[in-house]
Amino acid sequence: MNSPAPIFELKNVTQKFSSFPSLTDINLQIYPGERVALVGSSGAGKSTLINLLNGTLTPTQGEVSIFGRNLTNLNSKLRRKVQRQIGTIYQQFHLVDNLRVIHNVNAGKLGHWSFFQAVMSLIYPLEIETALKALTKVGIPEKLYERTDRLSGGQQQRVAIARILVQNPVVILADEPISSLDPQRSREIMDLLCQLSEDAGKTLISSLHVVEYAFSHFQRIIGLREGRIFFDAPVEEVTGEMVEELYRIEPQDGEMGRWGDGERKKNPI
C-alpha cells in the first residue's frame, strides 16, 4: 500500500522580518489526519510557522507546498482555492463583536458565497440550520442570535470553532487557541478541538504554551527553539529531558542556565 502524500511539505524554509530570522532552514512534512502540537518559548517561531502553513506568509527562502502545490507558484485564484481547505483559529478569536453569533459563524462560508450572498446574509441570515448544527457541535446552540460581545471568552472561542466547522476545511490550524482562557475552559476547548478532529478525520495543528496539552491531546510534537526545529517526534518518544532542554536559556557570562519565559508547564512524563 502506498503511503499518503503529505498535506504540508516545507523544504529549507527560512522566514525573515527585515533582517531578523523568525524561522531558519525548516524541513518537515505533515500528513492527513495527524494531530501535531507546536511548542517552544515565545519568539520561537510557532505563529510564523502557522502563518506559513495557511499561506498568510510567503517564505523568504525555500518552498512551502500544500496538497502538493507550491504556494509561491500559484496565481491568486488557485491560492485562494487551496487556502479555503485550511481553517485557522486565532487566540484573538477574530470575531466581529457587535454582530450576532450567527453572522460570525456564517463568516466561514464567505469563501464560498458570492458578494451578493455575503451582503444579504447580514440582513437575512442564510443557512441557519448549518450554523445551528455547528453551534450544537460546540455546545452553545442557544447562542445563535446572541450578540457576540455578550459571550464569555470560552463561548467566543467556541463560536470561532463553529465558524471553522461551517467552512469545513481539510486542515484546522490553531494558533495558541487557549492562551486567553482559564484552565477549565482551556481543557474544554482542547477536548473539543481534538474530538472534532477525530470525528471528522481532519488534520489538526496547534501551537501551545501549555506543554501538558501537547502530551495529552496530540500524536506528534514539534519543538521549536530560536526559529529552528529542536525536535520532531511522536509523543511517546518525547522525554521530559527533551522538553526541559527546549525551554532552557543558555547561560551568559558564567551565569547558571535558567528557564525561559514561564511557558514551561507541568510535564506529565
Tens of pLDDT, residue by residue over 214-238, are 999 999 999 999 999 999 999 999 9
Calculated CA dihedral for residues 174, 179, 182, 187, nearest 10 degrees: 30
Q: Which residues share a beta bridge with 258?
A: 249
pLDDT of residue 40: 96
Q: Over the stretch 123-151, which tens digit does the pLDDT of each residue have?
A: 677 778 899 999 998 999 999 999 999 99
Report the alpha-carbon distance of residue 266 to residue 45 in Å, rounded: 22
pLDDT of residue 123: 67
pLDDT of residue 258: 43
Residues lower than pLDDT 50 in the chain = 253-269
pLDDT of residue 38: 98
pLDDT of residue 214: 96
DSSP 147: B
CA distances (Å), 196 to each of 116, 172, 206, in order?
31, 10, 14
Report the alpha-carbon distance of residue 180 to residue 230 in Å, rounded: 26
Report the alpha-carbon distance of residue 88 to residue 174 in Å, rounded: 6
pTM attached to this predicted model? 0.86
- Helices 128-137, 153-167: axis angle to 10 degrees equals 120
**What's the grid cell of residue 220?**
506528534
